[in-house]
Structure 1
Amino acid sequence: MRDRRNTNLSTSSASSSSSTASVPSRTSLSEKRHPGTPPSSPELPSPVTRSHRPRVGSRRLMAVRTLAVVCCVLLFWRCFTSWPLLASGGGVSSTLGQELVGTVGLPDEPTALLVTDSSGHQKWTVAIPQNASFPLRDGKYNDVCKQGEDLSRRLNSESRLSRVKDWRRRGSYYAPDRSFLDIADAEQSGALPASQRAPSEDVCLTSLTFALNTDDVSFGKSLLMLWLSYGLAKKENRAFFVDDSQWPYGKYTSYFAPPPPQGCSPPLPHHILPCPHQAKHLLVSAATASWTFGSSFEEHFTHQRVHGARKYQQIYSLVRAGYEGLFKLVGNDAEYAQSRIAGMKEDAASHGGSVVGMQIRRGDQHPHEYQYRSDYLPLERYAAGARSLFRKLLGGREPSHALHGDPADFSTVVEYVHSPLLLASDDPDVIARPELSQAAAPFTVQKAQERILLATKATLDATSPVAPIREPGSAYVKHIDENSGWEGGFYSGLFHSLGIAKTTSDSGTLERLGDLTGAARGEVPRQAMRMRELVARAYLLDLAVLGESDGVVCAVSSAACRILGVMLGWDAVVHDRWVNVDDGRPWSWDGQ
């Protein structure tokens, strides 16, 4: 009888195609020699059980490692926190760009520079010559702030202590710059020469001065920034002052009552700094708006997780505080505005109607909506917005049935017709456009105010015609437009040309060029300033009347539209009594 052959095949025997049954594998021999031992396979690892699981380390080893990590952390922390600030060799160092040049005295130009404080540490400050005019011109503030940012970045990179302590608050609007030394403190500590003129005994501890300057001739934008600055000053418990020495519209008190008394005296002019925001005496203007109302301001005062107008509610509150504290017209304009408002409201209330205003901006301001970015919004859109607002104010009643002879709705038509639709625009021709009157029917569009009206050239030619000029002994007639009207809306070039003499003689041409040169230097002729004041007063009267209406339709790209949203109140903005017809954007102080 043949012996039983081993049927178990090893890996090597199974994978080899040339092996035969007569040549046993190594594993087979091993099995024969050790029948009680299972075969070992070099290809497969031995099984791991819970009792044989490899240990990562003993408790003692873990404790040593933990202690070593803690020691390293403490060592690094010690290195960071005990690293000293670099102390300067002495005195004052001025900075021009990225180069530091030691000087004995202060520079002759406004600049950011390095000083040594009483502790021997380097700080940066802003030095303005004590005899410099206030406010500064030609973008000096912008240059100074850029230099200050460079110095602050350099000092903070050298200071480990500042970097460790402020890493959580970096970028915050109210995060203090520990490398900055206020100029008043620098003079008091001896880091800078003392002021030649002693400050008043009752000088304000902190203040904000708003400078109305020539960087932007838009009255509306200046008004919004003025109100926002006032609201910010009140929030930060700063005294508030207004400087109008370089305002192209003249004196602030020509239009408004003086700001409320602050109970203290303004600081010295060279103590008023444009940046940083922690400066004791801060300057805000169109030239420094990006430093005061930039991205960090937006992040701090906006609700990032809220959409629509409610996102800007905190900023709106600041602007509203400025409106309530500063918008007080003076003289006969205030009396006229009150009388006009009272008459409109009384007429509307007697017929159960409402007062709705429209503000239409033309000129050099174009809408946000892409389709009309290089043009203007159709007038029909404003009229449609006004009709919709009337329906909302009157409870949704629609006069269409009454227009077809339904006597039951005749009273509704009367209410609609006797609801004043007031128009304010920088283009005096808009009110005569047939597309506006047809789209607004059955309403009759009225001017918001008729005390000061902008006149076009056609109107002036009709009221005060000018004959062509013929030079003596010449058959050539010079057809020169003596009448120059307000054409197409507000343009900065048209504004600057107001009141400039236009004559045909050589001497007259030289006189006109002299007027333009003087206006560029800030020396505005009396006649030109008088015409500028008339334009500004007409603008303010339009705002005063429309701001007291029950609702307003306008385009948010216009500063006047955003101002009217502030004047109507927050309830009007969130409940759609302030209607924006431009790109569906919510209210924002800058229109973006």
Structure 2
Amino acid sequence: MPPTLDLSRTSHTKMIVSPPRINLRKAASYNHDRGPLSSTSSRFNFNHLIASPPPSPGLPSLSPPLKKSPKGLAGFVRPSRIIRYTVWLMVALILISGVDYFLRFAFSYDDEDFRFMWFDKSGTRVARDSLPDTTKPILFIDKHGKTKWTVVVPRAADSSPSASELAETCNQCRVLSEYIESVGGSREDDFIDVKEAQEGGYLPGLAKGSVGVSQHGSGLLSKELKPVCEKSLTFVLESTGAGLGDTLMMLWTAYGIAKKEGRAFFIDDSRWAYGKYADMFQPPPSLGCSPPPRHQLVPCPRQARHLVVSSTPKSELFAPSRSKFFSSDRSEVRNYFNIARAGHNALFRLTPDDASYVERRTRELMARRIPPKSKGTTPGVAVGVHVRRGDLHPVEPQYRRNYIPLQKYSEAIRSLTDDKLGSSSSPAKQHSFTILASDDPTVYDADELPNSVPAQDRIKLASKQPKEVAPPDRKFMRKFIDESVGWEGGFYESMFWTLGAPKRKDASSHAPAPGGGHEENENPSEEMLRLRSLVGRAYLMDLAVLADASDAVVCTASSAGCRVLAVMMGWEGAMEKGLWVNIDKGAEWEGVGGAMNNKRRAQGVLGWLSEKISKR
């Protein structure tokens, strides 16, 4: 009988017994399918260490167990993450408080329902729950909480805005735009047009049944019930000065800009010192649409749907143009010259009677240049001369307190004639003459300009000759006789404003400030407007004949009429061919703004002084 195994004496008190279901067969991967391997076998390798059988469930694991976090620290977050979250939260709080502070500071609403904010004349911010009573640019908060701005025009404003009102509104637009840029906004991106502001519910909309047709002044603007133009520009014929040349230049430039921007063009003459536009010009071209309502006409900003400007170079419309007009780049000057030229081609259409006279007068003067066939076929030269006197003086320093001598004009005329016909006498020279236009009637009789004919004789601005009065009889009290007043010396603003005005006992009342200043100038009588219209028509016919009938023109660029003549002649003839001759040294062609600026005047004075010093 075999001996039995006694386990009672062993030190191991416990023994692991494999469960009966365990598979005790040797793994093929462990012993290999060809039998057991020995250490001396040539097939012996270490695969048995790599592909070992799975550990027995009852045996301890050969690899150490993974460490687990204690139950109390299962949701623990690293300190760096907590710091990062804290910083983000602080930045968000700072931004929120900053926006709230900005809104409270900018709009001063302090727990009140804020609606509108604007600036008064002193530059102080004003916050209200209602719209202002006058035309102003305003800030408001849209439905998305964003800051926007527009220009509000009271619906009670039926008449056209005055030049001073437009200038004040443009000044407030500049103040508001500077404020928007100072707080990080964009003037252009944050602007909402009046129509869009009405549709959004921020401004009062159109009343029911309104067709949106604006009625201004004499009715030049369309009265037909046509659709309102998508974009428009309304030009208000009003200026603080009495000169007509600058108004023409701005009118033509405004039309050229409107055409370039695809805007319909309208003219408002309700405040024009010369009366009705239709008494001097034919109506402007129509685009088949109606002008916008008055409360949609705003003077700024430039991207507004419906702009209104006055005949003053301070208007925002001409701001970029002035820098180009004063540019030294000839191509830039030509571009804006052509803009004014486009306005001339569309708007310089005189009334049928005056246009017929100009055409007849032009044919007459052109026929005068042609000599008889027996004397040759070369025509003579007709040189146009425009002499501006009155209250306007040249830019050239040595004549800035007087006028350029007429001898300078005659020298320029002789030079132009000799360049074309030669210095020797010829039949063509005998048929050469000067076409003269001046605001001073005494120039027509000057000896320095012989063989000259007036540009037009339809309307003459002649000096009033004093009446011959018999010597008073000393036996009787002398009867008071009004002093004879004529158009002596040229065009003066004070004389223009008092044309047709009732005589006053106070002599100082005959010299009003520029733009009027008296009740009769603010509300001129029919007689005053008639006389002013005659002055304007004479000026326009002078320019038209000079531009059409002259081979070349001599004038002073310090005069607006001279610069207008260049536009009427065209760039090629006036500038490239040199047929526009300026004899005022220091001045040159410039569009809106003119040549009478301090910078050019100072340059002219310095140049004149340096020339004098060098001669010594």
Q: Secondary structure at the match of 1:477?
A: coil
User: Which of 191, 203, 228 is 2:228 aligned to?
Assistant: 203
RMSD: 3.2
Q: Does 1:384 align with 2:394?
A: no
Structure 1 residue 468 displacement after superposition: 9.6
User: Which of 434, 456, 459 is 1:421 aligned to?
Assistant: 434
1:317 is aligned to 338
1:15 is aligned to none
Q: Secondary structure at the match of 1:478?
A: coil
Structure 1 residue 427 displacement after superposition: 0.2
User: For the residues of structure 1 that align with 2:447 and 2:156, how far apart are their CA atoms?
Assistant: 59
User: For the residues of structure 2 that align with 1:510 and 1:587, how far apart are their CA atoms?
Assistant: 36
1:497 is aligned to 498
User: For the residues of structure 2 that align with 1:305 and 1:214, how far apart are their CA atoms?
Assistant: 28
1:147 is aligned to 172
Identify unmatched segments of 5+ residues in structure 2: 1-90, 108-112, 214-225, 372-377, 596-616
User: For the residues of structure 2 that align with 1:511 and 1:492, how far apart are their CA atoms?
Assistant: 11
User: Which of 234, 240, 244 is 1:215 aligned to?
Assistant: 240
Q: Does 1:369 align with 2:396?
A: yes
User: For the residues of structure 2 that align with 1:535 and 1:304, how far apart are their CA atoms?
Assistant: 34
- Cα–Cα, structure 1 residues 225 and 138, in superposed 2: closer, same or farther, change >3 Å? closer
Structure 1 residue 147 displacement after superposition: 1.6
2:464 is aligned to 457
User: For the residues of structure 2 that align with 1:503 and 1:100, how far apart are their CA atoms?
Assistant: 46
Structure 1 residue 116 displacement after superposition: 2.1
User: Which of 172, 187, 193 is 2:198 aligned to?
Assistant: 187
- Whichever residue aligns with residue 239 of structure 1, its letter is A
2:590 is aligned to 588
User: For the residues of structure 1 that align with 2:526 and 2:400, how far apart are their CA atoms?
Assistant: 37
2:543 is aligned to 543
1:344-355 equivalent positions in 2, closer than 5 A: 344-350=365-371, 352-355=379-382
- Cα–Cα, structure 1 residues 378 and 311, in superposed 2: closer, same or farther, change >3 Å? farther
1:533 is aligned to 533
Q: Secondary structure at the match of 1:488?
A: coil
Structure 1 residue 324 displacement after superposition: 0.5
Q: Does 1:435 align with 2:448?
A: yes
1:5-154 equivalent positions in 2, closer than 5 A: 90-96=114-120, 97-137=122-162, 139-154=164-179
2:183 is aligned to 158
User: For the residues of structure 1 that align with 2:471 and 2:537, how far apart are their CA atoms?
Assistant: 33
Contact persistence 1:319–1:566 (CA under 8 A)? yes
User: Which of 180, 189, 197 is 1:178 aligned to?
Assistant: 189
Contact persistence 2:380–2:428 (CA under 8 A)? yes
Contact persistence 2:119–2:125 (CA under 8 A)? yes
Q: Secondary structure at the match of 1:260?
A: coil
- Whichever residue aligns with residue 389 of structure 1, its letter is L
Structure 1 residue 313 displacement after superposition: 0.2
1:31 is aligned to none
Q: Does 1:306 align with 2:329?
A: yes
Structure 1 residue 543 displacement after superposition: 0.7
TM-score (norm 1): 0.72
User: Which of 261, 264, 267 is 2:286 aligned to?
Assistant: 261
TM-score (norm 2): 0.70
User: Which of 342, 348, 369 is 1:327 aligned to?
Assistant: 348
Structure 1 residue 105 displacement after superposition: 2.1
Once the two structures are superposed, what CA deviation does each residue of 1:118-149 show, in whole Å capped at 9, x if it has no partner?
A: 43212222212111243223612222222222
Q: Secondary structure at the match of 1:457?
A: coil
Structure 1 residue 293 displacement after superposition: 1.3
User: For the residues of structure 1 that align with 2:146 and 2:129, how far apart are their CA atoms?
Assistant: 18
* Larger Rg, first or second structure (1 or 2): 2
2:520 is aligned to 519
Once the two structures are superposed, what CA deviation does each residue of 1:169-197 show, in whole Å capped at 9, x if it has no partner?
A: xxxxxxx7223222222112111122345
User: For the residues of structure 1 that align with 2:154 and 2:456, how far apart are their CA atoms?
Assistant: 47
- Number of residue pairs aligned between Structure 1 and Structure 2: 465
Contact persistence 1:141–1:287 (CA under 8 A)? no
Structure 1 residue 223 displacement after superposition: 0.7
Contact persistence 1:204–1:267 (CA under 8 A)? yes
- Cα–Cα, structure 1 residues 119 and 227, in superposed 2: closer, same or farther, change >3 Å? same
User: For the residues of structure 2 that align with 1:261 and 1:198, how far apart are their CA atoms?
Assistant: 18
Structure 1 residue 487 displacement after superposition: 1.1
- Whichever residue aligns with residue 526 of structure 2, its letter is R
User: For the residues of structure 1 that align with 2:344 and 2:504, how far apart are their CA atoms?
Assistant: 43
2:58 is aligned to none
User: For the residues of structure 2 that align with 1:433 and 1:288, how far apart are their CA atoms?
Assistant: 36
- Cα–Cα, structure 1 residues 305 and 586, in superposed 2: closer, same or farther, change >3 Å? closer
Structure 1 residue 199 displacement after superposition: 2.2
User: For the residues of structure 1 that align with 2:318 and 2:578, how far apart are their CA atoms?
Assistant: 27
Contact persistence 2:163–2:239 (CA under 8 A)? no
2:222 is aligned to none
Q: Secondary structure at the match of 2:531?
A: helix
2:267 is aligned to 242
- Whichever residue aligns with residue 101 of structure 1, its letter is V
Structure 1 residue 275 displacement after superposition: 1.3
User: For the residues of structure 1 that align with 2:509 and 2:392, how far apart are their CA atoms?
Assistant: 32
User: For the residues of structure 2 that align with 1:533 and 1:578, how far apart are their CA atoms?
Assistant: 28
Contact persistence 2:494–2:510 (CA under 8 A)? no
User: For the residues of structure 2 that align with 1:489 and 1:451, how far apart are their CA atoms?
Assistant: 18
User: For the residues of structure 2 that align with 1:278 and 1:320, how far apart are their CA atoms?
Assistant: 24
